[in-house]
Amino acid sequence: MPTLIELKDGVAKAAEDPFTHVADDQDMASGDVIVSLGRFQAEGEGLLSEGRRVGVRLKAEEEVEALAYDLPQLSVVALEFPKYRDGRAYTNARLLRERFHFKGEVRAVGDVLREQAAFMVRVGFDAFEPADDASSNEWQAAAHRYRHVYQRSADGRAPAFAEREG
Amino acid sequence: MYQYDTIDKAMLADRSAEFRGQVARRLAGELTEDQFKPLRLMNGLYLQLHAYMLRVAIPYGSLNPTQLRKLAWIGRTYDKGYGHFTTRTNLQFHWIKLADTPDILDHLASVDMHAIQTSGNCIRNTTTDPYAGATAEEVDDPRVWAEAIRQWSTFHPEFSFLPRKFKIAITAAPKDRTAARVHDIGLVLKRARDGALGFEVIVGGGMGRTPYVGPTIREFLPVNRLLSYLEAILRVYNRHGRRDNIYKARIKILVAALGKDEFARQVEAEWAKIGEGADLPDTELARIRGAFAQTNFETLPAQSEAFEAAKAAKPAFARFVRNNVKPHKRPGYGIVEISLKGIGDTPGDATSEQMEVVADLAEQYGLGDIRVTHEQNLVLPHVKLDDVPAVWAALAEAGIATPNINLVSDIIACPGLDYCALANARAIPIAQHIAEKFRDQDRAEKIGELKIKISGCINACGHHHVGHIGILGVDKKGEEFYQLTLGGSGAEDASVGSMLGPALPYDKVADAVDTLVDVYLRERHDGERFLDTFRRTGVTPFKEAVYADAH
């Protein structure tokens, strides 16, 4: 069972994960579940009608645009990093926040390492399943190592050019 | 020049502290080399054949004397007393100890320097015209936009794990000294008829295994929309660039696969969704622009008596002026190029003492401004003609007054098998053999502009595809062979060279170049460069001459 780290109000904390990841070849679990895009498209309506919370897990090559109409019903979008150096999920996360104004949880799953924490937080991830056993303290330190940022992103931090204007 | 403020400095301090922690974890055995590799690569630290190599970023090739002195000091303290300037206008130290790297990064940060994004699949150092701010050819100062891109691309949260590395070049002059058309993105600053500034946007050029001259996807992008447009290009690439094959992962492959029109359509569609909110505010552009405004030129007569007298008195100085001094936009000033291609030396190498001489000259005579060129030379962009004789004398004393800019011995070469773990063959001694062959400076000047570029493997770090004569090292059953290409160009008339014939053994390359040059001298019409003659005659006369012995 991977540890879940949640980022709330800028603070990373270890948390119990109320969701169960259900793979396509597994029987449906009870309670809150995270399923693949394909399974959500087939079974999502039914799951939601049972009153449970539902999340969708997108592979790196799947684009968030495929979820555009379903986002208001989703509690979690989990974005996969098949390898730490596969950066497609950063675009998905940023678009979820900036273009689709998704308010639910955006969770990083797969090859999730603390060295990526600052980038992930900046594009709007707020939950993490670290693959390197990083503690919430280590995650917190890694995510907030830089006192300034140069670009606008989904975290709303003031970039250097805005800070300079005072 | 742009001055780092407290924010820019804090970024470097934070980076340095982070890397110090990572190195400590590695040295304590908490990280394996496998785990450490991606971390060191984000700081420009490579493990090469014999030692660690640290690649220091020189944003848009611009240095002040304090920075160059610090590089000299690092070379002397932590390396073997020299450094190697690269085609990305960076500086590499080839003999670095891992345990020293955190201290080196701190020393770099003390002069506003770093190794950020000099490796990894991210946006690398943006290069620009080494004559920026000095040449009358440019429509505006391209460094303004290079600095804007530097900030925008530094630790970009969305674009730090691209399919492959990503290189941007900006030129603002019709004569392209940046090789813009063989970059992932090439930006050519232009003025519209109404005076408005905009960029021609070229995407998907590149070298390596599959060389392309990049197509133009937009003829005119208003300058203040640059960052949003770059965001659109990078987003399309981040999502759709190939990640299954490292050799097919550059943006050129995506652009070629989609076709330039479809790629442009996707970029424009994404750009429309992004909107103006992603562009830099005009106030920030004005701040950056102000930093590059040069106000301390003197008003001088166009002619300098001291300069003319020295030319008349000293043929060696006159030769230096003919080849290494270029026209400046201000009367009474010149642009002085410093060749790092001394005959028999390693192209792009400078000793710590030479760096200090250049730093001193820049301070005393050059408004404190030093540039690195992608052809691995240095430039003092603002020297009064009155002072050029003194600059030349000091350079000659330091062994860096070789009068060969753009001539046959001004060769680009990668480090090759002497240093690099990827290389198939040596590049440096080939360059040295060729330079020796053309040691006679009268002959070299008679030959005129001839760009020779040498790579030790197909990754093409030595830009062989765009050499007027390109030389590629290949491995044939454990022996070094060299494939020659002719007719390439990285300039405004960009093209990829075509193959001459079967690869040649190591000891035949310099002779073959000599033969090619003889053919050119025989065939050329008035005013033709080697490249022009080749384009007119085609490969046949060159091929016949080089392979005549084989028959």
3.40.630.30, 3.40.50.620, 3.20.20.70, 3.90.190.20: which CATH number matches A4-165?
Answer: 3.20.20.70
For residue A1, the model assigns a pLDDT of: 46
User: Per-residue confidence at B533, pLDDT binned at 50, 70, 90?
Assistant: very high
For residue B295, the model assigns a pLDDT of: 76
Q: Cα(first)–Cα(last) distance of chain B, in Å? A: 59
**Can you state the angle between helices B282-291 and B143-153, rounded to 10 degrees?**
120
Mean pLDDT (chain A, rounded): 95
For residue A40, the model assigns a pLDDT of: 98
Name every chain A residue with its beta carbon within 8 A of the beta carbon of B160.
Answer: 87, 90, 119
Residue B508 clears pLDDT 90, i.e. is over it: yes
User: Per-residue confidence at B41, pLDDT binned at 50, 70, 90?
Assistant: confident
Q: What is the mean pLDDT of residues B253-262?
A: 98
Per-residue CA distances from B408 to B436, B455, B460 (Å): 11, 16, 19
Name every chain B residue with its beta carbon within 8 A of the beta carbon of A116.
Answer: 161
B428-447 pLDDT, tens digit each:
999 999 999 999 999 999 99
State how far the Cα of B424 lies from the Cα of B414, in Å rounded to an integer: 12
For residue B50, the model assigns a pLDDT of: 80
Which residues are registered as beta bridge partners of B371? B62, B379
Q: What is the mean pLDDT of residues B82-93?
A: 95
Does residue B145 contact residue B187 with C-beta atoms inside 8 Å?
Answer: yes
Mean pLDDT (chain B, rounded): 96
State how far the Cα of B23 lies from the Cα of B28, in Å rounded to an integer: 8
B112-129 pLDDT, tens digit each:
999 999 999 999 999 999
Does residue B339 contact residue B375 with C-beta atoms inside 8 Å?
Answer: no
Does residue B135 contact residue A130 with C-beta atoms inside 8 Å?
Answer: no
Q: Is B121 on the interface with A (CB under 8 A)?
A: yes
Among candidates B470, B484, B468, B467, which has minimal Cα distance to B535? B468
Read out DSSP for B397-461? HTT-----TTSTT--EE--GGGT-TT-SS--HHHHHHHHHHT--HHHHHHH----EEEESSTT-T
Name every chain A residue with its beta carbon within 8 A of the beta carbon of B239.
Answer: 63, 88, 91
Phi-psi region of B120 (alpha: psi -120 to 50; beta: other; left: phi over 0): left
For residue B483, the surrounding DSSP H or E stretch is strand B479-486
Q: What is the mean pLDDT of residues A30-34?
A: 97
CA torsion B27-B32-B37-B39 (nearest 10°) is -60
For residue B35, the model assigns a pLDDT of: 81
B306-350 pLDDT, tens digit each:
999 999 999 999 999 999 999 999 999 999 999 999 999 999 999
Q: Take residue B103 and report the two structure tokens written for it.
A: 């201290």
Q: Is B276 on the interface with A (CB under 8 A)?
A: no
Name every chain B residue with its beta carbon within 8 A of the beta carbon of A87.
Answer: 121, 158-162, 238
Q: Take residue B180 and report the two structure tokens written for it.
A: 């813009």
Name every chain B residue with its beta carbon within 8 A of the beta carbon of A84.
Answer: 38, 161
Domain boundaries in chain A?
4-165
Q: What is the mean pLDDT of residues B32-57?
A: 87
Name every chain B residue with its beta carbon within 8 A of the beta carbon of A161.
Answer: 151, 280-281, 283-284, 287
Q: Could you give the percent of chain A with pLDDT greater than 70?
A: 99
* Subunit contact B38:A165, Cβ cutoff 8 A: no
- Which residue of A84, A147, A153 is in closest CB contact with B10? A147
Q: Are strands A19-21 and A32-36 parallel, antiparallel or unpaired?
A: parallel
Strand order in the sheet with A19-21: A11-15, A4-8, A127-128, A105-110, A76-81, A54-58, A32-36, A19-21
B358 Cβ neighbours under 8 A, 6+ residues apart: B68, B338, B350, B370, B378, B380, B395, B398, B400
State how far the Cα of B166 lies from the Cα of B117, in Å rounded to an integer: 10
For residue B550, the model assigns a pLDDT of: 60
- Which residue of B160, B162, B284 is in closest CB contact with A161? B284
State how far the Cα of B38 lies from the Cα of B160, in Å rounded to an integer: 12
For residue A2, the model assigns a pLDDT of: 53
* Subunit contact A147:B38, Cβ cutoff 8 A: no
Does residue B548 contact residue B541 with C-beta atoms inside 8 Å?
Answer: no
Closest-CA residue of A relative to B150 is A150
- Which residue of A87, A149, A163 is in closest CB contact with B161? A87
* Subunit contact B121:A85, Cβ cutoff 8 A: yes
Return the residue matching tokens 């496998």: B34
A34-62 pLDDT, tens digit each:
999 999 999 999 999 999 999 999 999 99
User: Per-residue confidence at B59, pLDDT binned at 50, 70, 90?
Assistant: very high
Residue B48 clears pLDDT 90, i.e. is over it: no
Please list the alpha-helical segments (H only) found in B245-375: 251-258, 260-274, 282-291, 305-313, 315-324, 352-365
